[in-house]
């Protein structure tokens, strides 16, 4: 199974070159949706914040549930085509969603190895800690997801990530 993680600026190119069957868009409340062609596309809008803040929309349990449901739809489609996950910079919301999906599909006990794989594939990955904590609870991982992401620490500073693949079985 392959997840492609990308910044918004590269979505059109990735869609054309990699032909994902599904695209998960995670953007702030304002702004335009990217053109993704004729693929199954889900757009979730929330701010990239680690704790609720006045005037901003934090990711919530419903956000994580929507990510998991969309991932399950992609998996059940069994086309073999990748799932593209993107946010504005391809660093925080998208890497969190990809890690959440990888943990769900790989099953309990792989949290640490998946976090290490994420870091190896993207030196800039800095998954949104609130999304990870919500998923950790929802998937009953008893803090292992949060601990694994804390263990890889903040990624290298960048204004935008580079598209990369996260593969897992």
pLDDT tens by residue, 32-51: 888 888 899 999 999 999 99
Strand 164-167 versus strand 83-87 pairing type: unpaired
- Contact present, 131 and 139 (Cβ < 8 Å): no
Between CA 87 and CA 122 the distance in angstroms is 15
Q: What does the pLDDT read at residue 67?
A: 98
Residue whose C-alpha is closest to residue 161's, from 108, 122, 134, 114: 122
**What parts of the chain have a pLDDT lower than 50?**
none
pLDDT, tens digit, 9 for 90 and up, residues 6-40: 999 999 999 999 999 999 999 999 978 888 888 99
Q: Give the burial class of 51: count Cβ atoms within 10 A of its Cβ; 0-12 exposed, 13-18 middle, 19 or more buried.
A: exposed
The per-residue pLDDT for 35 is 84
Note if the pTM is more than 0.85: yes
Q: CB-based contacts of 90: which residues, under 8 Å, 6+ apart?
A: 5, 6, 7, 8, 10, 124, 160, 161, 162, 163
Fold of 2-167: 3.90.190
Which pair of structure tokens corresponds to residue 143? 């803090």
What pLDDT is recorded for position 31? 78
């Amino acid at each position: 199974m392959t997840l492609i993680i990308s910044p918004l600026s590269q979505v059109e190119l990735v869609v054309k070159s990699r032909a994902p069957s599904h695209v998960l868009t995670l953007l702030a409340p304002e702004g335009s949706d990217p053109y993704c062609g004729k693929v199954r596309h889900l757009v979730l809008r929330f701010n990239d914040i680690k704790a609720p803040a006045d005037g901003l929309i934090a990711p919530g349990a419903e956000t994580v549930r929507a990510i998991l449901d969309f991932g399950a739809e992609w998996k059940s489609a069994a086309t073999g085509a990748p799932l593209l996950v993107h946010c504005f910079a391809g660093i925080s919301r998208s890497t969190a969603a990809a890690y959440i999906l990888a943990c769900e599909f790989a099953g309990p006990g792989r949290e640490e190895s998946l976090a290490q794989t994420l870091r190896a594939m993207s030196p800039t990955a800095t998954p949104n800690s609130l999304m990870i904590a919500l998923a950790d609870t929802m998937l009953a991982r008893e803090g292992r997801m949060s601990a694994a992401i804390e263990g890889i620490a903040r990624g290298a500073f960048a204004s935008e990530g580079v598209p990369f693949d996260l593969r897992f079985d």
